[in-house]
Amino acid sequence: MEVESGGHIVQVGDVRLLVSLDQLQREVAGDGDGGRVSRFVDTVLASATESPGELSADRLYWCLEPGDYEEPADYRVALSKRADRVLVHLSSDDRLVTWVTPAMLSVLGLSESEAGARAFTNLGCALSQATIEIKDVDGVQLGFINTSLPFKTALILAPNLCEVAGTLLGWPLLAVVPDRDFLYLWAARHKDFAQRVGGVVVHEYLHAAYPISTEVYELTDLGLRAIGEFPTGSKGNP
């Protein structure tokens, strides 16, 4: 059954799920891999049959999501006019990302504030276990994070970002996160460097399976803020 948001209600046993096919269509169109359909079905079924015992506070994270969903997450905080941070639960095999619901927190025995704090702690642990690759681009140190986390962009929210990435690249930092798994970091003193990555950011955003935003974010001791945005027809200045 299709609903106003463009999603589909799927009944799996006693569980009713709201499923969007938008991301699946993007992925198949991007690489032509028809096998994604069967894997998508497996993931949907897994989300319906996941037992309460498989929920773990150690698997709670904040994830970056676009802020324009017609069916918003239960636990979200607006970061900018384009992006939210959403409380999610990551399955033990790192395949299934589920927006956390009040029922899930009830099973975990956590309040909203306790779950949010745990999500930040888990992001910090993930960043500590990640590696940062640095490429010199005309004197600017451009950072890339390698991690098993399937939504690496959320690591810009990690409480130890200054300690881990800032030590290597400088602090404050600038970041672009056009999709869930694409992250560039560089020192904020090189603000003009954003012009160099504009075309890549727009291309990734338009073709990504999980697009987030074409905004440029400044990361300081005070937190995160958007300082500009690449128009989707742009190849340069934000």
The alpha-carbon radius of gyration of the chain (Å, integer) is 18
Reported as a single tens digit per residue, the pLDDT across 159-203 is: 999 999 999 999 999 999 999 999 999 999 999 999 999 999 999
Please report which confidence band the pLDDT of residue 7 belongs to, taking 50, 70 and 90 as the band edges.
very low
What percent of the chain has pLDDT above 70? 76
Written as one letter, the residue type at 70 is E
* Among the ranges given (16-20, 52-56, 66-70, 114-118), the one the predictor scored with the smallest mean pLDDT: 16-20
Cβ–Cβ under 8 Å, residues 103 and 74: no
Q: What is the pLDDT of residue 6?
A: 45
Q: What is the pLDDT of residue 75?
A: 97
Torsion-angle region of 13 (φ positive above 0: left; ψ -120 to 50: alpha; else: beta): left
**H/E stretch holding 125:** helix 112-129
Beta bridge partners of residue 205, listed in sequence order: none
Give the span between the Cα atoms of 139 and 27, in whole angstroms: 35
Kindly tell me the number of DSSP H helices and DSSP E strands found in the chain. Answer: 7, 12
Give the span between the Cα atoms of 184 and 174, in whole angstroms: 8
Question: Does position 38 have pLDDT exceeding 80, yes or no?
Answer: no
Reported as a single tens digit per residue, the pLDDT across 119-132 is: 999 999 999 999 99
Cβ–Cβ under 8 Å, residues 118 and 57: yes
**Helix, strand, coil percentages for the chain (3-state, nearest 5):** 40, 30, 30
Q: What is the pLDDT of residue 4?
A: 43
For tokens 């940062």, the residue is 132
Written as one letter, the residue type at 66 is P
* Among the ranges given (47-51, 77-81, 136-140), the one the predictor scored with the smallest mean pLDDT: 47-51
- The reply to whether omega before 150 is within 30° of 0 (cis) is no
Q: What is the pLDDT of residue 70?
A: 80
pTM, to two decimals: 0.81
